Structure 1
Amino acid sequence: MPENTVRTRCCPDCDGFPTVAITTGRRAPNGTRRTITVTCRACHGTGTLPRRRLAASLGR
């Protein structure tokens, strides 16, 4: 099968996963792990980039 050659606007910094939950290593009193939510700084949590910025990051 041929590979998909369609260019997407996916953010190259986060690969389309703009928001993640990271454990702090501590536990809450009820035993669950405490987490913090972090968003991608490049795309501001959208997972995509504007077309002109994507072209600049690809070296065009």
Structure 2
Amino acid sequence: MAQHAPTARICRACDGFPVVAITTGTRHPDGTRTTLRVPCPACRGTGHTTPATGLVRAGR
């Protein structure tokens, strides 16, 4: 079965995984680890990029 190309462009920096969880090494009182959620700086956590605008011809 053929796969369809996605209609939205996937971010090249994060490859579609826009938010990562990084453990800090410390633990909460219940024993779970403290994590930080860090979004991709290129797509700002959306996972998609906007298509580049068309080239504009300047001059003659």
TM-score, normalising length from structure 1? Answer: 0.72
Which residue in 2 is equivalent to 1:23?
23
User: Which structure is larger by alpha-carbon Rg, 1 or 2?
Assistant: 2
Q: Percent identity?
A: 52
- Runs (4+) of structure 1 moved beyond 3 Å? 4-8
Deviates more, 1:7-16 or 1:41-50: 7-16
1:1-60 pair list within 5 angstroms: 6=5, 9-52=9-52
Unaligned residue ranges in structure 1 (runs of 5+): 54-60
Letter matched to residue 51 of structure 1:
P
Deviation of 1:5 after TM superposition, in Å, equals 8.0
The number of aligned residues is 53
TM-score, normalising length from structure 2? Answer: 0.72
Rounded to whole Å, the distance in 1 between the matches of 2:37 and 2:4 is 33
